[in-house]
Structure 1
Amino acid sequence: MTTDRRDPAPASPTAGGAAPAAPLDGRAAPAAAGAGTLAARNYLPSLTGLRAVLAFVVFGGHFTALGLTAPHGTEARSFLQRALEVLFSYPSVAVSGFFVLSGFVLTWIAKPADRARDFYRRRVAKIYPVHLVTTVAALVAVVAAFGWPAWTILASHALMLHAWIPSQFAYFGLNVVSWSLSCEAFFYLCFPLLLALLPRIRARGLYAVLGVCLLSIFGLPALVGGTFALARPDSFEMVPTAGGGGPFVFWFAYLFPPARLPEFVLGVVIALLLKRGSWRGPNVAVSLLLCVAGWALNYNLPGYLHFQAGMVIPWMFLIAALVRADLEGRWSPLRSRTMVWLGEVSFSFYACHLLAQEQLSIRIGIWMYGRGWVPDNTVTWQWYQALPFMLLELAVALLVAWLLHRVVELPLQRLLRPRPRTPSAPATAAEVPAGTG
């Protein structure tokens, strides 16, 4: 999911909004190495690095779904497949992290003088060019394999409305991962109103808002799913929905933009509490341990709960802890130059990686099968075949993402974004890419 990026210079974060230059408790900047500089620039590189981690989880989830070392029709799983399933079975939790991060960064960089039309224009400049290019690429692949899709599908993807339609032929019809951009478009539409209302609430009230959001994430899909059902469910499912509560609950809990809005609001609330010095949470090390525990919990949750419920609270704690670490010059494992670079290209990577995976799996799989190197073109590979193939897919997806970032994302962002009315504020956290598949 994406947030604002007004200064697209490589390896520098988003310019555009004023955030507190002092540490979160309002005292003078600490004298630790680099801490004063970080606080003065409002530069949050660890959040950029977190984007890279989240994008890799989504990539790993899609690779795991290929089941290259899991023979069809059996319960057999190789050690590699079992390890991949433990690490990547639920990439949806990474999308939840993106949504929370998106709300946080947009709020952190917001300026009181920002106009809604400028905000919307920056959002379009950031996400739509990459969305359009990857959608066209997906369309070419779909037409080559199946023929032209319905014009309603094309229109819904072009207008970023496809996640509103409870049919997999609509929300997964072209570039599968772009459903989360449809959610982000709705979040952006709501953001000026949220920013006008939520800062008026006192800290205790903000914690109440946080609690309501968590309750809705955990309970609303079950409540709605017990009341409604799809009148005409898909005759064929590209992604099985039985384990997620059936066609309606799967769509409502996973893809329906208003149902995902609470995660975005959580990010907004955390940013407001941090700005006021009212946030209470653990440090980075404890937050990472909570993420490990949440991951294990999420792996064992039933039904729709595994979409985000197990990890949404650990993501909240981790994001806030990483911000504190960057502003106060404390330890963070995510602010290295490599992690920041990966985070900078993560939106383009997210948008193109599944297309690259699909084409490589089909073409190289058929080529290897033709030479008798694998039993068939998609499954029952040995671990020493599947693991290098995963690394190959990652390398190709990163290369395509870098090209997309340099040729499409940054140039068109410069061209389409509004010109600042006043000199830009120093940079802060970089854009957050959307969602998953």
Structure 2
Amino acid sequence: MAVPAVGSAAPTGSVADHLVSLTGLRGILALTVFGAHFYLAFTMAGGTLDTPFVQDVFRVLFSRSGGTAVSCFFLLSGFVLTYIARPEDSATSFYRRRIAKIYPVHLVSTAIAFTLVSVRYEVPGPKVSLSHVFLVQDWVPSQWYYLTMTGLDWSLSCEAFFYLCFPVLLLVLTRARTWMLYTVPACCVLLVFTLPYVVGHTFSLTHPDPMEMVPTGAYGGPIGYWFAYVFPPMRMLEFVIGIAMALLVRRGAWRGPGVALSLLLCAIGWGVNLRLGSYLPLAAGMVIPFALLIAALSRADIGATWSPLRWKPLVWFGELSLSFYVTHLLVQEELFSRLWNVGMDAGLLPAPLPVLSWWVAVLSFVAQFVLATTAAWLLYRLVELPMLRKLRPKGVSPLPVAQSESPALPAGEARTASAPNSSDLVEK
């Protein structure tokens, strides 16, 4: 099956080809997931900071940022894959590129996690281990399956399901009329808000986990949390929203707010999301603002207009986001905690619980981030990029790596980037 064209393609090498601002957005999302794990690990262990203001800053920024960031990642996935779809592409070529992008990094991080879990706790069973290797762990409503290894590859299990369905979804939605492409996201948003409630109040688990790694009571219990947050068909609603939005943008039919207003709506939505209860903060609370922001940022890149997310360091970090995402929790839980214990034994560092000085918390945050970024850069340079170049289909030309800091041009003027060197080409 060929992956259909999705409208008139942008010129090769143009700013529209690589949507730099969306790469920068990926960097922000990876940082918020990191911050969520830093904050939750500290507070769930009973820790507090000695300064209420700094405690509140961490709470506002990170107490619910993990789930919302993953939701935006799913929206981005559907949007970007649709926007860069090639007319000459085939389903086989698409699958090969996705495997080349995701699977080597996944296998390395899973092998590291398997080793650490085996040494620290016990060797995971063969069913659990194989479910992670083949990215099918999300289909079992048990945290012992979907949270055992890295604690984060459950989202890759969702992505694997999305990729499997993408050629068919794109074929169907590409043929839809414009009014239908507005209706599809609206229906998906409605289901994101309501379907977990129906399922959570209709079904229950006959054999729930005897002990939960992540408490689910506040999110509707084991079945509600799993269905709303982990179950791949449920999370594919966000992926489909991304596809429909990309098709509207490619057709020039999207009518939505610009970047500044979309950022303001995200800030308002973030505040509202902090006050939502049950399963709503996991995805529903920010799905509309994030969808509007993605469309606005893409149009800013296409039109070479203002966007704050083309900052070079942010775009660079966005390129590392996959490797950072799959490794940062291992660094936080294993490497940093062990280094902290060494410092405590040497009398150089204070005990992190129950009360920690705010400046020690900030330095700890920065130190964890530097260690996690270093590990991600090594994985990116030694595994992700080399395997991507080795495994991607030879007959499909790669897209140029994102270029940042593109200055705006007057309306109506086209932008064409310089031809990149072959060493700068990556499969996005």
TM-score by length of 1: 0.87
Select between 115-124 and 75-84 the one with higher mean Cα deviation.
75-84
Compared with structure 1, are the counterparts of its residues 177 and 19 closer, same or farther at alpha carbon in structure 2 (3 Å cutoff)?
Answer: farther
Amino acid corresponding to residue 65 of structure 1 in structure 2: L
CA distance in 1, matches of 2:261, 2:97: 36
Structure 1 residue runs of 5 or longer lacking an equivalent are 1-15, 23-35, 433-437
CA distance in 1, matches of 2:350, 2:311: 42
* Residue aligned with 1:67, SS: helix
Give 1:263 shift.
Answer: 0.1
Q: Are the aligned partners of 2:200 and 2:223 in contact in 1 as well (CA < 8 Å)?
A: yes
Q: How does 1:357-376 map to 2 (within 5 A)?
A: 357-372=332-347, 376=351
Aligned residue for 1:111?
Answer: 86
Q: Are the aligned partners of 2:96 and 2:393 in contact in 1 as well (CA < 8 Å)?
A: yes
Aligned residue for 1:59?
Answer: 34
Q: How does 1:320-339 map to 2 (within 5 A)?
A: 320-339=295-314
Give 1:94 shift.
Answer: 0.4
Amino acid corresponding to residue 388 of structure 1 in structure 2: L
Give yes or no for the alignment of 1:237 onto 2:212: yes
* Residue aligned with 1:42, SS: helix
Amino acid corresponding to residue 415 of structure 1 in structure 2: K
* Residue aligned with 1:231, SS: coil
Percent of paired sites with the same residue: 49
Q: How does 1:125-274 map to 2 (within 5 A)?
A: 125-274=100-249
CA distance in 2, matches of 1:17, 1:412: 28
Compared with structure 1, are the counterparts of its residues 92 and 71 closer, same or farther at alpha carbon in structure 2 (3 Å cutoff)?
Answer: closer
Q: Are the aligned partners of 1:71 and 1:380 in contact in 2 as well (CA < 8 Å)?
A: no
Aligned residue for 1:20?
Answer: 9
Amino acid corresponding to residue 164 of structure 1 in structure 2: W
Q: Are the aligned partners of 2:218 and 2:278 in contact in 1 as well (CA < 8 Å)?
A: yes
Structure 2 residue runs of 5 or longer lacking an equivalent are 404-425
Aligned residue for 2:290?
Answer: 315
**Partner of residue 56 from structure 2, selected from 82, 97, 105:** 82
Amino acid corresponding to residue 20 of structure 1 in structure 2: A
Aligned residue for 2:412?
Answer: none
Give yes or no for the alignment of 1:382 onto 2:371: no
Aligned residue for 1:72?
Answer: 46
Amino acid corresponding to residue 106 of structure 2 in structure 1: H
TM-score by length of 2: 0.88
* Higher RCO (Cα < 8 Å, 6 or more apart): 1
Compared with structure 1, are the counterparts of its residues 338 and 75 closer, same or farther at alpha carbon in structure 2 (3 Å cutoff)?
Answer: closer
CA distance in 2, matches of 1:74, 1:94: 24
Amino acid corresponding to residue 72 of structure 1 in structure 2: G
Q: Residues 144-185 of structure 1: CA distance to partner in whole angstroms, max 9, x if unpaired?
A: 111211111101000101111111111000110110000000
CA distance in 1, matches of 2:80, 2:204: 36
Give 1:361 shift.
Answer: 4.1
Give yes or no for the alignment of 1:418 onto 2:393: yes
**Partner of residue 99 from structure 2, selected from 117, 124, 128:** 124
Q: Are the aligned partners of 1:18 and 1:110 in contact in 2 as well (CA < 8 Å)?
A: no
CA distance in 2, matches of 1:393, 1:76: 20
Aligned residue for 2:260?
Answer: 285
CA distance in 2, matches of 1:374, 1:235: 36
Amino acid corresponding to residue 21 of structure 1 in structure 2: A
CA distance in 1, matches of 2:427, 2:224: 30
CA RMSD in angstroms comes to 2.4
Give 1:212 shift.
Answer: 1.1
Select between 41-50 and 259-268 the one with higher mean Cα deviation.
41-50
Q: Residues 357-415 of structure 1: CA distance to partner in whole angstroms, max 9, x if unpaired?
A: 11134213322332456664555322121110110000011111111000000001111
Give 1:74 shift.
Answer: 8.7
* Residue aligned with 1:207, SS: helix
Amino acid corresponding to residue 183 of structure 2 in structure 1: A
Q: Are the aligned partners of 2:6 and 2:250 in contact in 1 as well (CA < 8 Å)?
A: no
Compared with structure 1, are the counterparts of its residues 346 and 71 closer, same or farther at alpha carbon in structure 2 (3 Å cutoff)?
Answer: closer
